[in-house]
Amino acid sequence: MATDVIVPTLGESITEASVGQWLKQPGEAVAADEPIVALETDKVAVEVPAPVAGVMGEQMFQPGDTVTVGALIARILEGGAAAAPAPAPAAAPVAAPVAAPAPVVEAPAYDAISPAVRGLIDTYNLDPASISGTGKDGRLTKGDVLAAIEAGTARVKSAAVAPVAAAPVAVAAPAARREERVKMTRLRQTIARRLKEAQNTAAMLTTFNDVDMSAVIEARAKYKDHFEKKHGVRFGFMSFFAKAVVLALKDVPAVGAAIEGDEIVFKDYADLGIAVSSPGGLVVPILKDAQAKSFAEIEKQIADFGERARKGTLKIEEMQGGNFTISNGGVFGSLLSTPILNPPQSGVLGLHRVEDRPVVRGGQIVVRPMMYMALSYDHRLIDGKEAVTFLVRVKEAIEDPARLLIDL
């Protein structure tokens, strides 16, 4: 008896996905509720579990194929037995003892690696055996590959070493130049479409300011150890900026509003999109009701977003909604940028790296840790005066954090 596996509901307004990777192959035993296939939607990866225990049967689609919600994607054979491995042949008698060969490290089966991860490995010409997998059954994820590249532990593929010959070895000719075409992931296609949509729809403009980070750095240095000990999370800068944005949105509510048809929708809450990096690209989970959260609650949720973004386990509903976004390009070393709106939002705050710069204070040139801030906004809804006022409110709150506590 076979049980059909159907593509489940993937989230509001999402009707299709791509097959990213089969986690079980035909003939393999499957437990009930065990993930058998990973689907890639416009926003996140979704694992589809087996409805019953049995043996993996027919697979209707290949990695990279598009599937729709409700489609038959595979079948599970109930009561079947997994294919048993072939018995090893009996060892032939050895006439004389010989030296044992050096152990061989078994590399992950190349065909078992998802197309997205395989494309990344091929791009950098990496040896999969040099990378530890953290996915299901030790499978490699994009996060594993990127982490290994960043740590310098990923090895480049090399040809097997040939026996030393008496004759000199001829120098190989330079490898021919080559090009490779890799299909864009659904997430990258969605990012491209939405960014272009924002440029085509909104009257986008960016205003800049700089902020002296001395007070925030001093407060963080003074309390970070006690904060981490008490709350179990690192005390970063993002909670200060989230709180400052909440304060600024109260003074300039148009920045958190949205245009719907011929109406402007004002909101009395702050659902902040926090842009985080994932192996498939930038994703923006929503920090809901930031106006009601403490510093510790904000830091914990942002840390959780970042961790699950790297693992690809963010839920679709966690990235829906939001009425303002904060994007911190400074973690990658960016000095200045013009962030693009995340429709239908009307504002996005870009943060950048902190660096010591000479500034004038009290008629004297002094060195201060400065950061450039950029506010991109929809000029159809927000006037220049409102945009500048909003950015000044954020600057004032960061340079005098006591304002965050007494709501000034």
Helix runs in 59-176, H state only: 115-124, 142-151
60-64, 160-164, 170-174, 196-200, range with the lowest pLDDT: 160-164
Measured in degrees and rounded to the nearest 5, phi and psi for residue 384 equal -60, -40
Confidence of residue 167 (pLDDT cuts 50, 70, 90): low
Contact 275/337 with Cβ under 8 angstroms?
Answer: no
Q: What is the spatial distance between Cα 372 and Cα 210, in angstroms, rounded to a whole number?
A: 4
Tell the burial category of 239 from Cβ atoms under 10 Å away from its Cβ (0-12, 13-18, 19+).
buried
Which two tokens mark 244?
Answer: 């400052």
- Say whether pLDDT at 294 is over 90: yes
Q: What is the spatial distance between Cα 146 and Cα 126, in angstroms, rounded to a whole number?
A: 11
- Give the β-pairing of 355-361 and 281-283: unpaired
Of 13-22, 36-45, 180-189, 333-342, which one has max mean pLDDT? 333-342
The H or E element that residue 286 is part of is strand 286-287
Measured in degrees and rounded to the nearest 5, phi and psi for residue 5 equal -110, 120
Give pLDDT, residue 302: 93
Active site (annotated) includes residue 289: no
pLDDT (mean) for 86-93: 50
Query: What region does 274 belong to: left with phi over 0, alpha with psi -120 to 50, or beta?
Result: beta
Q: What is the spatial distance between Cα 79 and Cα 2, in angstroms, rounded to a whole number?
A: 9
Q: What percentage of the chain carries pLDDT values higher than 70?
A: 82
CA 101 to chain centre: 43
The active-site residue out of 356, 379, 400, 407 is 379
Q: What is the pLDDT of residues 229-281, one digit of tens each?
A: 999 999 999 999 999 999 999 999 999 999 998 899 999 999 999 988 877 67
18-27, 141-150, 215-224, 300-309, range with the lowest pLDDT: 141-150
Higher pLDDT, 78 or 355: 355
What is the rounded average pLDDT for all residues in the chain? 82
Q: What is the spatial distance between Cα 288 and Cα 367, in angstroms, rounded to a whole number?
A: 37
In single-letter form, the type of residue at position 317 comes to E
- Say whether pLDDT at 90 is over 60: no
pLDDT (mean) for 6-17: 76
- Secondary-structure breakdown of the chain: helix, strand, coil percentages, each rounded to the nearest 5: 30, 25, 45
pLDDT (mean) for 315-344: 88
The residue whose two tokens read 């999969």 is: 128
Higher pLDDT, 376 or 184: 376
Q: Domains along the chain? A: 2-77 (2.40.50.100), 119-151 (no CATH), 204-406 (3.30.559.10)
Which two tokens mark 177?
Answer: 């130049």
Q: What percentage of the chain carries pLDDT values higher than 90?
A: 38
Q: What is the spatial distance between Cα 317 and Cα 336, in angstroms, rounded to a whole number?
A: 31
Q: What is the spatial distance between Cα 62 and Cα 19, in angstroms, rounded to a whole number?
A: 7
Q: What is the spatial distance between Cα 403 and Cα 11, in angstroms, rounded to a whole number?
A: 40
pLDDT (mean) for 113-118: 70
- Pick the closest to residue 35 from 56, 18, 15 (CA basis): 56
- Pick the closest to residue 286 from 303, 269, 294, 274 (CA basis): 274
SS (H, E, C) 67-134: EECCCEEEEEECCCCCCCCCCCCCCCCCCCCCCCCCCCCCCCCHHHCCHHHHHHHHHHCECHHHCCCC
Give pLDDT, residue 144: 78
In single-letter form, the type of residue at position 164 comes to V
Give pLDDT, residue 43: 62
Confidence of residue 48 (pLDDT cuts 50, 70, 90): confident
- Pick the closest to residue 270 from 198, 325, 206, 329 (CA basis): 325
Give pLDDT, residue 170: 61
The active-site residue out of 225, 251, 383, 400 is 383
The residue whose two tokens read 């709150």 is: 397
- Say whether pLDDT at 45 is over 60: yes
38-47, 168-177, 219-228, 253-262, range with the lowest pLDDT: 168-177
3-class SS at 182? coil
The CA-to-CA distance between both ends of the chain, in Å, stands at 68
- Say whether pLDDT at 386 is over 70: yes
Give pLDDT, residue 99: 47
- Pick the closest to residue 242 from 325, 173, 353 (CA basis): 325
Confidence of residue 171 (pLDDT cuts 50, 70, 90): low
Give pLDDT, residue 122: 74
3-class SS at 166? coil
Active site (annotated) includes residue 356: no
pLDDT (mean) for 63-84: 78
- Say whether pLDDT at 384 is over 90: yes
| Upstream peptide bond of 89 is cis (omega within 30 degrees of 0) | no
Its pTM surpasses 0.85 = no
- Say whether pLDDT at 80 is over 60: no
What b-and-e string marks burial along 123-144, b requiring 16 or more CB atoms within 10 Å of the CB?
eeebebeebebebeeebbbbbb
